[in-house]
Amino acid sequence: MRDALDDGAGERELVIAWVFPGQGAQVVGMGREMAQAFPSAHDVFMRANEALGFDLARVCWDGPDDALRQTEVTQPALLTTSTALFTVLREAGHAPSLAAGLSLGEYTALVCTGAMDFEPAVRVVRSRGAFMTSAAAGRPTAMAAILGLDADAVRAVCVAASHAGVVEPSNFNSPGQVVIAGDEAAVREGMAQAKTAGARRAVLLAVSAPFHTSLMAPAAARLAEALAAVAITAPAVPVVSNVTAQPVAAPDEIRRLLVAQVASPVRWDDSVRTMAAAGTETFVEIGPGTTLSGLIRQTLDGVRTLHVEDPKSLDETLQALQ
Catalytic pick among 82, 103, 170, 241:
103
Opening angle at CA 216, ends 30 and 169, nearest 5 = 85
Measured between alpha carbons, how far is 18 from 86 in angstroms, rounded to an integer? 9
Catalytic residue flag (residue 170):
no
Measured between alpha carbons, how far is 252 from 188 in angstroms, rounded to an integer? 38
Catalytic pick among 174, 212, 264, 307:
212
Task: Please give the C-alpha separations between residue 151 and each of 155, 176, 198, 237, in angstroms, as whole numbers.
Answer: 6, 7, 13, 30
Element (H, E) at 179: strand 177-183
Which phi and psi angles does 204 have, rounded to 5°?
-65, 140
Catalytic residue flag (residue 212):
yes
CB 142 within 8 A of CB 187: yes
- The closest of 126, 133, 136 to 226, measured between CA atoms, is 126
Which residues are catalytically annotated? Answer: 103, 212
